[in-house]
């Protein structure tokens, strides 16, 4: 099977700092991926390597089966939008879109024009004179209108208000339904995007901590609350992310498969079960106190 | 080829503003010079008027080469262009910019010559490197060659700076200065430069200058190419 993006044993160091350590990932065609991780987890470094802007110290990357390094054919499949824009400062919005349209083969001019109107972006302004939110809007327009087979958004909406972000999600989904492609969304705003993501990759300290289908992941993450002894009885052998006690009551977050029979048994024991939102799971996994990484790594 | 076209379009849009500002200033200075000359003429000044704008043109080319390289390499890598295509496109940009600058410089010189002649001044165009150069073509061509050499030299400096950083660049500067202290090195370098300049003198000097400039251009790009091929986007 040819993957849209294949990373084999990627490692990258900056001096004594390990940015990425033995990353192995396969991203399928026409899927929406969420690349999640805390600041400094290695997300941007990984995306820079995938797009051949940075070289790995070890390992190899393939884009639709080809190495992207100095390979125009492979690179033509990618559009990356970064948080710091990467636009030329003295070029106007019209100019930036004009340049982008000449680089991306599938450029959708109508979509770009529609988004310009919807975001109410002043076409004559130079990039230098745009506000932070407007710069993000321009990046989003380029990313969406590029229709690149692999479209990467690396923290695309710094400074963008809630309405602007919602518009981005709406257009992203609408356009994805009509023109499926591989979309990689690297973000901190996990709750907002959790419903968009088909697959989730969580990076922590340069390593893949968790990778899989977002629904499967959500279906394995539960809070269980109840009396201490009953909770302990049911979580025995399960992967526990967090445990809090209040007198005789205990609340635990677990990340493990729970069968229907187990759920019924818990309910019979008066235990409250609720699912953990993806953002909270992310916090447990990347910053929680009770993580046993060996248990979590899928 | 389409990617090179897109590359050049990007350079056009990126440089347009600074280019227009530069030439607006140049033409404004020229117009101001003419106004000052008219004033002096009204006060009885009848001597020679000397103008020179080639230095400004060369400096603009050099600065443009340096700034553009650092600004557009990460941008182009982000747009998915290969480093090889970037270098090829940048070399074409260097040539086109130098050529356009030279043509406008020649037009400015012709405008100044016409204006001063019309006003009845004894006009001298100072700043040509070789006294034998009188024709419009030669003037344009030599301005092109000098601007191209300056542009490509500063592109080389920019590529070293991008790849290795400012300290490395300072290190090279310090090393060159140290080498100059070795007995005989300074004489040898200046002797070589002198013979180079002398070989370009005379009526057909611009042919030698063309060959030297072409060699210098290729030599610089032979160094720039491997530097760019291994350059990464900055964190």
DSSP output for B139-183: HHHHHHHHHHHHHHHHHHHHHHHHHH-HHHHHHHHHHHHHHHTST
Say which residue the tokens 């103008």 belong to: B51
Q: Are strands A32-37 and A17-27 parallel, antiparallel or unpaired?
A: unpaired
Please check whether residue B235 lies inside any domain of the structure. Answer: no
Residue B61: which domain range? 2-229
Nearest to A219 by CA among A162, A269, A259: A259
**Two tokens, residue A118:** 């919807």
Look at residue B172 and tell me if it is in a domain.
yes
Between strands A221-227 and A272-275, the pairing is antiparallel
ipTM of the complex: 0.85
B234: in domain: no
Determine contact: A97 vs chain B, CB below 8 A. no
Find the chain B residues whose C-beta atoms sit closer than 8 A to any C-beta of A: 2-3, 5-6, 9-10, 13-14, 17-18, 71-72, 74-75, 77-85, 229-230, 232-233, 235
Which run of H or E residues covers position A11? Answer: strand A5-14
Interface contact A54, partner B, CB < 8 A: yes
CATH fold group of domain A5-212: Rossmann fold (3.40.50)
Question: Cβ separation of A99 and B233 shorter than 8 Å?
Answer: no
Q: Give the pLDDT score at B156.
A: 96
Does residue B151 have a pLDDT over 90?
yes
Q: How far apart are the first and last CA of chain A?
A: 21
Task: Tell me which chain A residues have a C-beta less than 8 angstroms from the C-beta of B83.
Answer: 70
Q: What angle do CA B148, B154, B160 make, to 5 degrees?
A: 135
DSSP A247-272: TTEEEEEEES---HHHHHHHHHTT-E
Overall fold of domain A219-296: Alpha-Beta Plaits (3.30.70)
CA distance B224 to B220: 6
A159: contact with B, CB 8 A cutoff = no
Number of domains in chain B: 1
- Please compute the mean of the pLDDT values over residues A27-50 and round it to a whole number: 92
CB contact under 8 A, B82 and A55: no
At A283-294, the pLDDT tens digits run: 888 875 434 333
pLDDT in tens, B10-55: 999 999 999 999 999 999 999 998 898 888 888 877 777 777 788 8
Sole residue written with tokens 């553009």? B68
* Mean pLDDT confidence for A68-93: 89
Residue with tokens 């235990």: A271
The two structure tokens encoding residue A132: 């932070």
* Range among A191-205, B153-167, B175-189 with highest mean pLDDT value: B153-167
* Alpha-carbon gap, residue A86 to B72, rounded angstroms: 10
Residue B221 covered by a domain: yes
Q: Which residue has the higher pLDDT, B45 or B195?
A: B195
Please indicate, yes or no, if residue B171 is contained in any of the structural domains.
yes
Contact A75 B80 (CB under 8 A): yes
Q: Which residues of B70-93 are buried (b: 16+ CB within 10 A; e: fewer)?
A: eebbbbbbbbbbbbebbbbbbbeb
Q: Could you tell me the CA-to-CA distances from B134 to A294, B126, B206 in Å, in that order?
A: 80, 12, 12
Contacts of A180 (CB under 8 A, 6+ apart): A30
Question: What per-residue confidence (pLDDT) applies to B41?
Answer: 81
Distance from CA of A90 to the nearest CA of B (A): 6
**Does B158 fall in a domain?**
yes
Local structure of A222: helix, strand or coil: strand
DSSP string, B200-235: T-STTHHHHHHHHHHHHHHHHHHHHHHHHHT-----
Which of B76, B79, B83 to substitute to test the interface with A, most A CBs within 10 Å?
A: B79
Strand partners, A243: A252
pTM (two decimals): 0.87
Band the pLDDT of A94: cuts 50, 70, 90: very high
- What tokens were used for A276? 């953990």
How do residues B96-116 score in pLDDT, each as one tens digit?
Answer: 999 999 999 989 888 888 888
Task: Tell me, yes or no, whether B112 lies in a domain.
Answer: yes
User: For residue A42, what is the nearest residue in chain B, using CA coordinates?
Assistant: B235
- Give the pLDDT mean for A97-121: 93
Contact B13 A87 (CB under 8 A): no
Which regions of B22-65 does DSSP assign to beta strands (E)?
48-51
In this structure, is residue B148 part of a structural domain? yes
Domain spans in chain A, listed from the N-terminal domain onward: 5-212, 219-296
Instruction: Report yes or no: A137 at the B interface, CB cutoff 8 Å.
Output: no
């Amino acid at each position: 099977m040819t993957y849209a993006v294949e990373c084999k044993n990627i490692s990258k160091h900056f001096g004594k700092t390990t940015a990425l350590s033995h990353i192995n990932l396969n991203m399928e065609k026409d899927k929406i991926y969420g690349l999640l991780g805390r600041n400094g987890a290695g997300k941007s470094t990984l995306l820079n390597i995938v797009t051949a802007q940075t070289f790995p110290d070890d390992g190899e990357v393939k884009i639709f089966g080809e190495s992207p390094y100095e390979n125009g054919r492979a690179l033509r499949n990618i559009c990356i939008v970064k948080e710091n824009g990467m636009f030329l400062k003295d070029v106007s919005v019209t100019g930036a879109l004009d340049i982008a349209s000449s680089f991306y083969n599938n450029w959708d001019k109508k979509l770009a024009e529609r988004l310009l109107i919807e975001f109410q972006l002043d076409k004559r302004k130079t990039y230098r004179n745009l506000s932070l939110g407007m710069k993000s809007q321009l990046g989003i327009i380029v990313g969406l209108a590029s229709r690149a087979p692999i479209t990467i958004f690396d923290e695309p909406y710094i400074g963008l208000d809630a309405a602007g972000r919602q518009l981005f999600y709406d257009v992203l989904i609408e356009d994805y339904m009509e023109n499926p492609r591989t979309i990689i969304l690297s973000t901190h705003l996990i709750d907002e995007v959790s419903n968009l993501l088909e697959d989730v990759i969580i990076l922590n300290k340069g390593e893949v901590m968790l990778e899989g289908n977002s629904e499967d992941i959500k279906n394995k993450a539960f809070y269980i609350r109840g009396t201490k002894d009953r909770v302990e009885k049911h979580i025995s052998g399960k992967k526990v992310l967090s445990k809090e006690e209040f007198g005789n009551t205990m609340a635990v977050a677990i990340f493990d498969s729970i069968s229907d029979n187990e759920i019924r048994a818990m309910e019979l024991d008066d235990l409250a079960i609720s699912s953990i939102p993806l953002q909270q799971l992310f916090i447990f996994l990347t910053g929680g106190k009770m993580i046993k990484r060996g248990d979590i790594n899928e | 080829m389409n990617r090179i076209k897109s590359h050049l379009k990007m350079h056009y849009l990126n440089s347009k503003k600074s280019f227009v500002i530069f030439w607006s200033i140049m033409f404004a200075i020229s117009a101001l010079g003419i106004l000052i000359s008219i004033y002096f003429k009204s006060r009885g000044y009848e001597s020679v008027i000397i103008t020179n704008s080639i230095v400004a043109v060369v400096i603009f080319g050099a600065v443009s080469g340096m700034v553009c390289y650092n600004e557009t390499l990460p941008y182009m890598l982000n747009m998915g262009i290969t480093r090889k295509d970037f270098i090829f496109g940048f070399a074409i940009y260097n040539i086109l910019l130098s050529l356009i600058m030279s043509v406008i410089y020649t037009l400015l010189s012709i405008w100044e010559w016409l204006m001063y002649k019309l006003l009845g001044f004894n006009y001298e165009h100072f700043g040509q490197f070789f006294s034998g150069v009188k024709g419009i073509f030669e003037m344009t061509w030599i301005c092109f060659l000098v601007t191209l050499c300056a542009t490509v030299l500063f592109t080389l400096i920019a590529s070293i700076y991008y790849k290795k950083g400012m300290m490395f660049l300072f290190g090279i500067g310090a090393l060159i200065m140290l080498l100059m202290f070795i007995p005989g090195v300074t004489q040898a370098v200046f002797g070589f430069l002198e013979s180079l300049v002398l070989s370009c003198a005379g009526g057909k000097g611009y042919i030698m200058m063309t060959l030297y400039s072409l060699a210098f251009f290729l030599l610089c790009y032979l160094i720039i190419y491997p530097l760019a091929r291994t350059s990464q986007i900055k964190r």
